[in-house]
Structures are given as C-alpha cells and as structure tokens.
Amino acid sequence: MKLHTLLEMLSDPASLYAVVVSLVLCAVPIGYGLKKARQALRNPANAKPSGLKLWQVGLLGWLGGAITWLAWLTWSPAPGSIFRTNPANQPYDTNQVVCCALTLVIVALAVGQSARYRVAGPFVAAAATLWGFHLLWSLDASSTDSTGLWGVGAVLLATGSGLALYAVAWVHSAIQITLHRRSQRPQNTP
C-alpha cells in the first residue's frame, strides 16, 4: 500500500466506520491513560523538573504509532526475495511484524521517558501509540478486506497490542518511581 492510497482511503465515506471502530476498540486504553493523567496532575511529587506535557506525549505517541505503521506495513518484500519468510499470498512478512512490534515498544518507551510525569507519561504514550497504529491499520484493513473479517483482526490487534504496551508502560513507570525514590533517600556518609 502506498501513501497516495491512504489519502484516497480517507476520502471514502466507509473509512469513517474504520475510524469509529478503532476509537471504540482503543477507548479502554485511552481512558486508562487519561485516568493516569488526572492522577498525575493531582500528585506533583511524581513530576520531573522538566519534560513533555501530557498532551505533547499523546501527540508524539500517536505520530510514532502512525509512522511505525507507515514504515513497516505499507510495503512487502518481493516474491523470491531473501527477506521474504512467508508465502507470497500473506499480506505481511514475519520479519515485518516482529520489527513493527519492536518499533512500537521502542516508540512507547522513548515517548514515555520524555514525559514530565513518571507514572502517567508511559501510560499516555502507550495509549496514544496504540491508537495511532491501530487507526491506520484499521483504515488499511477495512479498505482491502472483502470478507469483513478485518474487524476480528482489529479486535485482536487492539487487545494484544494494548496489553503488551500497557505491560511495558507499567514496568517503565515502576522503574521510574523506584529510581526516583532511591534518589530521594538520604545518603549514608560515614
């Protein structure tokens, strides 16, 4: 799929359905990220001296998820290529999917680390990264699927990616809080 095809897709009225499905499926992770954001704003002790505001984290996460989809899933290796590990009739190659998943995790970690809030930043980054990726995937899948099963794939993608990105966010925020608490302890001097 090429970028001009994506622009043609957006002009199709049926793409509104894919946008709504993506938003509904990602509503729980987005809602949880917003809940963490509200909690963080009430507890300034978990804020770093500097960093991105939460809306900036959300925007960067969304862009990172969208760019990840564009970078990894808009092309396929040529049949007979040494990079192709699956039969030619499958839309994505295993290497593409693995690299795409790793890129999503790296994007969520990098954007979450740049946030001002130690707990909310990783969760907002995870939700935004998930939705940016999921939205473009849904637009593509809904426009190319004649069976109607793209909805099943959308549910599986939102569930699997959401759980994985939130597990990463939970570990990331726990590490940040632990390191912050250790740095706040008084140093023992003999």
Task: Give the range of the structural domain holding residue 151, as residue numbers without chain letter.
Answer: 3-7+17-76+87-184
Q: Is 44 a member of any domain?
A: yes
Its pTM stands at 0.83
Note down pLDDT in tens along the chain; length 190 residues: 445 566 666 666 667 777 778 878 888 888 887 887 788 777 777 778 888 998 999 999 999 999 999 999 888 776 666 666 766 667 788 888 899 999 999 999 999 999 988 888 999 999 999 999 998 998 888 887 888 888 888 889 999 999 999 999 999 988 988 888 888 877 765 5
Among the listed residues 185, 184, 34, 186, the one whose alpha carbon sits nearest the alpha carbon of residue 117: 34
Q: Is 151 a member of any domain?
A: yes
Q: How far is it, in rounded angstroms, from Cα 115 to Cα 51? A: 5
* Amino acid 182: pLDDT: 85
Q: Is 37 a member of any domain?
A: yes
* Amino acid 133: pLDDT: 95
* Residues 36 and 152: beta-carbon distance below 8 Å: no
Q: How many domains does the chain have?
A: 1
Q: Is 82 a member of any domain?
A: no
Which backbone phi and psi does 116 adopt, to 5 degrees? Answer: -75, -35
* Residues 122 and 54: beta-carbon distance below 8 Å: no
In the numeric block, which tokens belong to residue 51? 């960093």
Q: How far is it, in rounded angstroms, from Cα 117 to Cα 154? A: 30
Q: Is 109 a member of any domain?
A: yes
